[in-house]
Structures are given as structure tokens and as C-alpha cells.
Structure 1
Amino acid sequence: MPLVPVLMKLREVALLYQDRVTTTSTKQNIGRIICHENVHMWFGNEVSPVQWTYTWLNEGFANFFENYGTDLVLPEWRMMDQYVLLLQNVLQSDAVLNVNPMTHPVYTPSQVIGTFNSVAYQKSGSVIRMMQHFLTPEVFRNGLILYLNRNKRTSVTPPLLYQALQEALDQSNHSINWPVATIMERWTTQGGFPVLTVRRSAPSANSLYVTQQRYLTDPSLVSNDRWQIPINWVLSTDPNFSNTMPQFWMPAVSSASAIDIPGLSQAEWYVINKQQTGYYRVNYDDENWQALANVLARNHNLIHLLNRAQIIDDAFNLARNGRLDYRYAFEVSRYLINETDYIAWGAANAAFNYLDVVLSGSPAYQLFQQYVLSITKPLYDRLGFNVTSEDEHVTAFHRNIILNLNCRYGNEDCVYTAQNMLEQVINNSISISPDTQNVVFCSGLRGGSAENFNFLWQRYLDSQDSSEQSILLNALGCTSNSTLRNFYLNQVIAEDSAVREQDRHTILVSVINSSPAGTEAALDFVIANFDQIQRSVQGLTGTTNILNALANRLTTAAHSTKVSQIVFYVCVMMM
């Protein structure tokens, strides 16, 4: 298929990279966005969905290939390992009862805009990744070639995709239990995703009893949705995680199945969903959770890295909504003191961020902070603040997690080092890596110093680099000085604001995420100025980012009462 020249218009922060100024995160984002937009030459331009009901045919494939394609060109970035963290993140937003499915009707312009969300991008990309694994990469590739060639310059619907994939499957040496269309129909037209509850049929039996139900954050809610689910497993007696083809398909017509697994009775532990290729959660019986915690503590490398991340994410989320005792989640997490890979720590960081919010102000909060400091100490000592040219690409993300947790939770060495580094920056005696600037600047502002704030604010005003501006905007919200915080918040709505409209939502997001006091101040500011904020940030996207940040931080009845004021205002405006 010939390439057609296209014109892409991007913001500077999504296109321009400058060594020693641009963060690794922004650099990765630039590569990802460029790849994403190029993928649209095929999925979106050459072949277009017949209507916005099928937005995922564009954005799901672009999301998948932005990572898969970048991984082929820059394997050291480990984009397909990082994809598991993306999948885990979208499982959070996809776990509410009224979430839209991948395929859903749209009729109005506002509904069209609403389709460009995490379901169309990250969920659809994750389901496409699952499809690649249950079909095999070769069949998946051959099917897409057929789909694109057959339908070029035309409008398509999902059945045309399924037909091409089915033909490629039929021409291969592989087979699956149902037609591709039958499987994908449920995954694309039902919202949410399943959780598998897995039990040994008996201690000495060679079979598992598996049930499926829709996973919902609110466990009091019930849904009758079911899926055809690709299942595979690993036993402790043969810990080989490489083959991700399904070993069993759970039917959608039944909520329970028995799976015969030769040798299961001799296995100390087992893992379902190799490399978390399936878009679902797994809950085990208490005995297997404890066995997994034991093997992780003893030799965590026996379990594949992506499954270590899966085990952490599943355990803490299942505990979060009462499906699992938190004891087992923390038992699993004890091994992290020996974990050196970013992917597993990315999953743990998401879990710890949630607990930080809900435990803040409680008697258990100090114990939680001490626990996190204890298991991060080896990595803090190893990574520190010193960025080297030998660092892996993902080390920048890993270091940020460890430094943020340690400085936020009161590691004296971390706080002192960060504040000392900021003083040296102010005195022009050192320059620091852009990858550590946020934690250094943020720690330096938590003490409430007006001098530090004014220096960084002036640096923002003087900066001509969008990447540096982004770092500074995210850091300035960390100030604990209420007067300076109010000045900063008012930059969102001030007529003479020095911050560009498309960046103003970052001010509120940074204050919300800075501390409990910052969250309270930002919430009060949003309630008092909601109408002005909507007009001052860049449309729906900016407002959505602000409200999402608040939603992740509000936990009390008092917060609920305050939020109702925003809801009331929105309802009045819509009348």
C-alpha cells in the first residue's frame, strides 16, 4: 500500500526534543505521539470507520501500534512492557457500571467528542493486544494486511475486521473455540471487563474451578455480562511464561467452568493470565495468594516481570473493593524490597498512591509511610539523585517513583539533598537533570520558602522551552505557603495570566496532587470559580483533567458535600 503524504500539526511539547532540557517522559511521549499519528495514515485515513460509533477502529489500533511500533524501533524503551501499566491504569476507569463499551452509538457533536476517551484509546488498544496474543502475532498481522488492502479508501465496520482476521486464522495452523466475530462482539459491545475467581477443586485435585463476573469498583452492584475469555496458566513445577496462546476458553454462556490441569496437585503455586495479555483481573484462593507471596519473597525472578506487576495490581485492587483481605496484598508487596525493575514498581506506585489518599490523616498513615520507606530503601540508596549516561531509558521513571515516595514520606536524606540541590541551582553552582527537577523543585517548595517560589516562578516566565515550562508548572503547585498558593491558583483565571490557556489546567492539577492542604485549597477554588475556570482552560479537555485529578483525591463526606455544589452548578447551567 503506497504511503500518502500527510501534514501533522503538533504542540511544541509533543514534537521538539532538546538534550538536557527535555525529560525522558516527554521524549517518550514525543516518540509515541509521532508514531500514533503516522498509524492514522492506515487506521483512520486509508480505512475509516463508517461512523463515530466505531471510533475504536481508529484510536484503538493507533494506541496499540504507537507502543508496538516504537518498541520495534527503540526496544530499549520497553514500550510493550510499559503497556501493562497502561492496561492496569485503564482497568480503573473501566470498572464502573455506566462506562461506555468500545462500540456505542453517538448522535450529537458532543457525543462524538465524548468518544475520544480512555475506552477508545487505552482499553481498545489493550483488547487489541489481547487479540494479537490469542490469534498469534503472525495471524494478527496477516489479518490486518488483508483488512487494510481489501478495504482501502472505504468506510468500514467491525465485522469487516473480524472477517479478515478469521480468514487469516483459517489459513493458519491455529484454531480457537469460536469465530473471531463471536468473541469480539462481547468484548466490544459490553462495557467493563471480567474478574476470574479461581479455586483448586480440592487440594489433591488436578483441576481448577473458575467463575467469571463483571468487575465493578462498587461490589454491591451486579451485572449479568459475560465474555468468552482466553485463559492460560503457569505451574510452579514448570514456570515458563513465554507461550501466551490460550490453553482454555471460558464460555460466555456460563459463569463457572472446571479446568483440568495435569500436574496441578504437585504445584506449590500457579499463575493465571501469562504476561497479563488478557484484559481481566484474577482473584485466587487465600492459599494461592500466600503461596505467591512466599515465592516472590524467596525468588521473585521465578515469576515473569509482567506477572509480578499483575499480581501486585490485582491484589491491591481486589483488596480495595473488599474482594481480598489487605493482608495478602501487603504480603505480596513485601518482596518489593528486592525488586529492581521499574514495571513492577509502576504497579506498586499506583497502589501506594491510592492508599496515600485514603489513609492520610488516619492513625495508620504513619505506619504506611514507614513501611513504604523500608521497602524502598535499597532502591533509594542505589538510584539516588545522580543520573548517569548508563541509566536505562525507564530508570528515569523508576528513580522518580522512589525519590517522590522518599521525599514525600520524610526520608531526611532525600529532603535535605533535594533542598540543597535547589539552593545550588538558585546560586547557579549546578545544573540538574530534567528528570529529577520536579522532585527537587517540589521538595524545595514544601518548606514554604517565598524565595524558592519566586525564583522558580521567574524561571518559568523567562523560559522559552515548553518542556521546561511543563516541569516548572507541575512543581510550583507544591508550595505550602498559602499566600503563594492562592497567587498561583489565580493564574488559572486572571485576565493577565502569564500562563497559556492550554497549560492552565496544569496549575490546578499540580496543586491538587501536592498535598492534602493543596487538595483542599484547589477544591475550594474550583467551587468558587468553576464558571471562570471553564472559560479559562482549554475547553472540555482542561476541565476534565482538573475534575479527574480531584476525583482521585477526594475521600471524605465533607468532600462529597462540596462536590455536590459543582454538580448543582453544572445542572443549573444545563437547564
Structure 2
Amino acid sequence: WWDNVWINEGFASYFEYFGMDGIAKSMELEDQFIIMYLQSALSADASPNTRALRHTVNSPTQVTGHFTGISYSKGASFLLMLKHMVTEETFKKALHLFLIDRAYQYATPEDLFLAFQNATDQDNIVIDGLDIISFMTTWVDQPGYPLLNVDVNMNTGLMNLTQERFYINENTAPTNETWPLPLTFTSGKDLNWDNLNVSRVMTSRTAQIQKEPGHDWVIFNVQQRGIYRVNYDTHTWEMIASTLNSNHNAIHHINRAQIVDDIFALMRSGKITFQLGFYVLEFLKKDTSYYSWYPALTGFNWIRNRFLHMPDVLAEFDAILYKYLDAVITNVLYFAPSNERLTNSPNRIFVLSFACNIGHPGCVADAVEQFRRFNAQPSVPVHPNLRRHVFCTGLREGTYENWQAINNRMRNSNNQADELAMLRALGCTNDYRAVEDFMNMVVSDDIKAQDKVNAITWLLAGNRNNSASFLEFLKAGDNVQKIRQAVILPASFNTVLSTLASYLDVEGLNEMERWLNENQQAVPEFNVGLSAINSARANQQWGTDKARDILEAVRDSSSVLVPSIMLVLSTMIALMLK
């Protein structure tokens, strides 16, 4: 039974979004699913040691390992892809047949596969001669997902396609897996963002598709309903970038989100250069969509974290990011108006939290002023959707007395969401007395057991200087045992060690390594800590190695490919003269 947790959790995650989407389209849950779940699945499933949706478990630890992003996000994303493969009506029929056939009995994936076979047979659904059971079996039993490479011959219109397993680490050796890959695409001259019907299933490593000849960009995976990334030849990327920079709304907002997420992944994996990647991302300086900025913030933050050990590089990178943020901050505003579009609120929360965290002058100044007014008149609360960045920035710039006031407010609150917002903010302090109080709260009953791991993470992420203080706290007395008991699960203590290592500087990593090696009996999880230290050092080395290329690419991404654009113009003229 534990082998197939994905069926339970995948369907639960799917209907969490699409059940409500059926009755409240204004909540944009179908679109939000793509950036929250499908893109999360792509992130979780990009390493060589990832697990398939169905895999055998033989121990409690392996059972716990099933409850990860693979079962939830990839399971739900697989169902979405399957729905668009067979049509929504046949998808519903298949689920009905499955439930009726297995009512009051146990079920296996094969029962689900057979239900889809029967439904597609009844509805005469034939897609490129596809065997639906084979399709489902491959996606359920094979870990990972493909990268689709698209190379367009502008003169003939012939598109050469290849697929390969995508690995996020550029040093991972290539492997030979293939997937039955449902293809959808649209082009600049024949735009149709609403046709999500699968036109072809790519079952081999290579394939060709003919389109109209001419100088024209294409985008595959329309509205990103398929579990795969897409990389184009350089010329096609340049044309997509040109379109995005001149009118980003010409490309569907979900495909803009896809492009942003894919670009960061392709740069990380070495599939494209930073120069090309940041040229494509230049449109973010104009685009204010939540769907573009959610993956953008994740990507920018990932790079920033690799620069934390290089203050000068980080400062320059942050100053450049301010320019990317100006338009979206102007759009989301520093206050929360009534009757706004639903997705404006999370966009504001995430954008302003990121902006204030990297020291954006306007964001910091406004947050400090809002926090000052709140301290002067506590009866006038900060809007709930602004508290994350206002409280965090206020305490980062504030005093120990400010910290105590928020702590007291948290203790007296009976609103769980409000409590968590304040607990997160308490971790942003850099006052040594407040940091000491916070760490003692973690090992006491002042913080709920289920919130302790998050509390430690917020302390470490809220202010990088806190990592050294937490390491010293961990080393003192019997605090290791206290922390272990506080977070309850062994896996949770492993998370604490891994998170700590990710925020330490070079000297801190050396000290943590020395402490673990000298205290192996007191810290039986020392191998987890040492592995986390090696990962942190690798991340720092990646930042050191890539810093020059990234800064050169991002300093003026709008002009770095001028020679390529001239090539585009020359090609257009040549085509016109044929």
C-alpha cells in the first residue's frame, strides 16, 4: 500500500485546486496550480537520486520519504497532464469507472490504468496511436522528467526535437531515458494560447514537426500542462526575448511563468549561457504579473544564496535586482487596497518580502515607517498582508524593546496566522539579546512543537548573522539534546543541521565541521551535518566560479546580444529577398 501513496496524495492535491476552481474561477486556482505544484514538481524531480511516483518501501523511514513533493506535486501534475491528454470529459469518466469498479475494495495503479483504458476506448480517444496504459506506467514508474530541445530551421519550417532526462546539476552524466511526451505548441504567426489539445505524443528520443517556413518563434508546452522543460536554439530564444521585451503580454502569462522557471533551470544546469538567460529575463523589468514573479523570486534568491559569502558581489547583484523590482513594486504598492484582483495580494507579499530582505531602499523605508507608526499607535494594526515584511524589516532595523513588544503581542494572540507572521518576524532581529531569547523559546514550550523547525529556519534566514549565534547555542551544554527533543522527529533534527550549514559563512562551516568531528557520540547525526557542510561549500564554490559571468550578463542584459539581433535582421532581409 505504501508503494502507491502518490494516488492518495496526488488526487488530494489535484482536487484541492481543481475542485474549487470549478466553482470559483476568479480565484485563478488552475493558473496558480502551475506555479505552485507543477513547477515545484520540476524542481523536486531534477536530481539523479530522485524517486519514481511508485517505488517499493521496506522501512518506516522509506514510508516517510514517500510524503514528499514527488507524491504531492508530481502526482497532481501527472493527473493534470493526463486530463489534457484524454480531454476533461474522458478524464472524469475514467475516474467514475475507477471508483465504481473498486468501491469498498483496495485499488492498485493498474486498476486506475485500466479505468483510463476503458474510458478512452468508450470515447474513441486515439492520440497518435498511443497506448494509454503504457503512457501512464512510464510516468508512474520512471523517475525524473524530460527536457525537450527544439531546433527550428527558419528557412524550411522544420522543427527538430530531441528529448533527454533533465538534471539540474551540470556535472551529472547524461542517461538514456525517454518518456511518452504530449506535445502542444503555438507560434508567433499562428497564435493560439487556448488550444491545449495534445497534437502529438513523442515516444522516441528524436522527432520532427513541420510548420510554415518563415522567421517565426515557437513556444512548446502551451500553458505548461506537461511535465517537461523546453530549451530552444539560440535564435528562437532571441526572438522570444525580443517579443517579451517589446510586448510581454503577447505571450500568455502562464507561458511567461514557464519561460522564467525554465530559464533559471537551464542556466543552472549549463544548458544555456547566463548572457542569453538574462537577456530573455530582461522583460521582468516591465512585467508585473504574479505568475512571472513567483518563479523569478525563487530563481533570483537561489543565485543570491550562492553569493552570501562574497559581500561585494552580493551588494552589486542586489543593486542590479533593484532595477528589476522597480516596476513590480510600483504595481503592487506598499499598501493593500480593497477589491483588488486576488493574485495581487500574494504578489505583494512575496515581492515586498524579497525586496526588503535584499535592502531595496524604497521597501525598507516604507516598512520602517509603517512599523514606527504601529509602535506609536498599536491599536491601529498593520494590514495582515503587509505584516511579514513590515514586522521583519522593523525588527531588523529596530531595538530589543521593539522585539519584546512583538513577542508579547504574539503570546497574547489567538489568531494562528497572526502568530506565525510574528514568529517569522522575530527571527529577523540582529540584537544579541533577542537572538538569545528566541533560541531559548525554541527549546521551551513558548513555541508550538509543530512550529519549532520553521522557527529555527526563520531565525537563520531572517538575519544571516544569526547562524553563528545558533551554532554557538547548539554547541553549549546539552542544547543538542534539547533541540533534538524540541523538534521531535529525527528527520527534523537533520533538517536543522542542513539548514544551519546553508547559512554559515566559510569560517562558520569550518567551526561546525570541527565540532561535529569532535562530538560524534553526542551528535549521532554528524554524517548528516558533514554532508550538509559539503553541500554548502559546493554552493559557495558555484557562486565563486560563476560570479563574474553572472554579473557581466546581468549588468546590461538589454545590450549584450546586439550582434545577435543584427543577425536576426540580416536573416529577415534575406528571407524577404528570396
Is residue 2:36 matched to residue 1:105?
no
> Quick one: structure 1 residues 191 and 564, their matched pair in 2 at CA, closer, same or farther if it must change by over 3 Å?
farther
Alignment of 1:128-277 (within 5 A): 128-176=79-127, 177-200=129-152, 202-222=153-173, 223-251=175-203, 254-255=204-205, 257-263=206-212, 265-277=213-225
Q: Is the 8 A contact 2:288 2:327 kept in 1?
A: no
Per the alignment, in what secondary structure is the counterpart of residue 356 of structure 2? helix
Per the alignment, in what secondary structure is the counterpart of residue 324 of structure 1? coil
Is residue 2:241 matched to residue 1:299?
no
Q: Which amino acid aligns with 1:195?
A: L
> Quick one: structure 1 residues 501 and 377, their matched pair in 2 at CA, closer, same or farther if it must change by over 3 Å?
same
Supply the distance in 2 between the matched residues of 1:281 and 1:65 (Cα, whole angstroms). Answer: 24
Supply the distance in 1 between the matched residues of 2:501 and 2:21 (Cα, whole angstroms). Answer: 33
> Is there any run of 5+ residues in structure 2 with no aligned partner, and where?
529-578
Aligned pairs, number: 517
Per the alignment, in what secondary structure is the counterpart of residue 249 of structure 2? helix
2:553 corresponding residue in structure 1: none
Shift of 1:435: 0.7
2:15 corresponding residue in structure 1: 65
Shift of 1:550: 5.0
Is residue 2:394 matched to residue 1:433?
no
Q: Is the 8 A contact 2:501 2:509 kept in 1?
A: no
Shift of 1:557: 9.4
Shift of 1:523: 5.3
> Is there any run of 5+ residues in structure 1 with no aligned partner, and where?
1-50
Q: Is the 8 A contact 1:275 1:307 kept in 2?
A: yes
Q: Is the 8 A contact 2:4 2:53 kept in 1?
A: yes
1:477 corresponding residue in structure 2: 427
Is residue 2:385 matched to residue 1:399?
no
Q: Is the 8 A contact 2:427 2:458 kept in 1?
A: yes
Per the alignment, in what secondary structure is the counterpart of residue 176 of structure 2? coil
> Quick one: structure 1 residues 525 and 162, their matched pair in 2 at CA, closer, same or farther if it must change by over 3 Å?
farther
Per the alignment, in what secondary structure is the counterpart of residue 211 of structure 1? strand
Is residue 2:340 matched to residue 1:386?
no
Supply the distance in 2 between the matched residues of 1:414 and 1:560 (Cα, whole angstroms). Answer: 35
1:421 corresponding residue in structure 2: 370
Supply the distance in 2 between the matched residues of 1:478 and 1:449 (Cα, whole angstroms). Answer: 12
Supply the distance in 2 between the matched residues of 1:309 and 1:524 (Cα, whole angstroms). Answer: 41
Q: Which amino acid aligns with 2:102?
A: N
> Quick one: structure 1 residues 328 and 55, their matched pair in 2 at CA, closer, same or farther if it must change by over 3 Å?
same
> Quick one: structure 1 residues 395 and 463, their matched pair in 2 at CA, closer, same or farther if it must change by over 3 Å?
same
Shift of 1:346: 0.6
Supply the distance in 1 between the matched residues of 2:215 and 2:471 (Cα, whole angstroms). Answer: 52
* Higher mean C-alpha deviation, range 333-342 or range 234-243: 333-342
Is residue 2:299 matched to residue 1:351?
yes
For the aligned residue pairs, the C-alpha RMSD in angstroms reads 2.4
Q: Is the 8 A contact 1:312 1:344 kept in 2?
A: yes
1:81 corresponding residue in structure 2: 31
Q: TM-score under structure 2 normalisation?
A: 0.84
Supply the distance in 1 between the matched residues of 2:324 and 2:391 (Cα, whole angstroms). Answer: 25
Residue identity over aligned pairs, in percent, reads 28
Supply the distance in 2 between the matched residues of 1:231 and 1:543 (Cα, whole angstroms). Answer: 43
Q: In structure 2, which of residues 270, 277, 293 is the aligned counterpart of residue 329 of structure 1? A: 277
Q: Is the 8 A contact 1:231 1:273 kept in 2?
A: yes
Shift of 1:476: 0.6
Per the alignment, in what secondary structure is the counterpart of residue 106 of structure 2? strand
Alignment of 1:22-33 (within 5 A): none
Shift of 1:518: 3.2
Per the alignment, in what secondary structure is the counterpart of residue 155 of structure 1? coil
Q: Is the 8 A contact 1:56 1:120 kept in 2?
A: yes
Q: Is the 8 A contact 2:163 2:178 kept in 1?
A: yes
Q: TM-score under structure 1 normalisation?
A: 0.84
Q: Is the 8 A contact 1:358 1:555 kept in 2?
A: no
1:44 corresponding residue in structure 2: none
